[in-house]
Amino acid sequence: MNSSPPRKLHFPQPFNHEHPPVQDVNTVFAEQLGPGQRAADRVANTMGSWKFIIIQSIILTVWILLNVLAWIKHWDPYPFILMNLTLSMQAAYAAPIIMMSQNRQAAKDRIEAHQDFLINQKAEEEIRVIMEHLEAQDQALVQIHAQLVQLQSQFGISEDGAGIDPLRTS
């Protein structure tokens, strides 16, 4: 019989969550925007909508019809130089405004990617701690099993429990 003293069971210390809470990237990003940036985003959102395309198409169609059919005085006869100038000016301002909005969206995407990275780091750390705890539980179960086998052999009990007298008191 092995009479060595049982090893003391050891479990890791409880995990201490010492990381900052997860932040809503949309809220953080919105707080950083200035009035000009908000205006640029609104313009880009408006110009990138079906409503804008439909309204602009209607205006241009009416413009062309009024000048071709001459229901009123021709203010922009064919080939519609004034309309081209107006559309060119619109495009000249729209392109940089849309680019500014896209640049801000790219910056927001970088913030989201960094936030995802931080969350992944937290998850990896917590998974590591869980795995350490499970390993400690496995080791404890092995020790408990070894102690049970030792007790069974001391009292002459087979592994299937035969030889146990439920009425016997020590």
More reliable by pLDDT, 169 or 117: 117
Neighbours of 104 (CB within 10 A): 18
More reliable by pLDDT, 168 or 120: 120
Report the mean per-residue pLDDT for the chain: 84
- pLDDT value, residue 6: 59
Domain locations in the chain as residue ranges: 33-154
- pLDDT value, residue 33: 86
User: Tell me: the pLDDT tens digits for 105-126?
Assistant: 998 899 899 989 989 998 998 8
Question: Would you report the helix, strand and coil content of the chain in percent, each value rounded to 5?
Answer: 70, 0, 30
2 has pLDDT over 60: no
Question: For the chain, how long is the longest CA-to-CA vector?
Answer: 118
Q: What does the alpha-carbon distance between residue 113 and residue 106 come to, in Å, rounded to a whole number?
A: 10
Neighbours of 94 (CB within 10 A): 15
Q: What does the alpha-carbon distance between residue 167 and residue 65 come to, in Å, rounded to a whole number?
A: 108
Could you tell me which of 154, 145, 163, 164 has the C-alpha nearest to residue 7?
Answer: 145
The contacts of residue 101 (CB under 8 Å, 6+ apart) are 40, 41, 43, 44, 45
159 has pLDDT over 80: no
- Token representation of residue 64: 């062309």
Q: Is 30 helix (H, G, I), strand (E, B) or coil?
A: helix
User: Tell me: the pLDDT tens digits for 34-82?
Assistant: 998 888 889 989 998 999 999 999 999 999 998 888 766 778 888 999 9
Indicate the pLDDT class of residue 165, thresholds 50, 70 and 90.
low
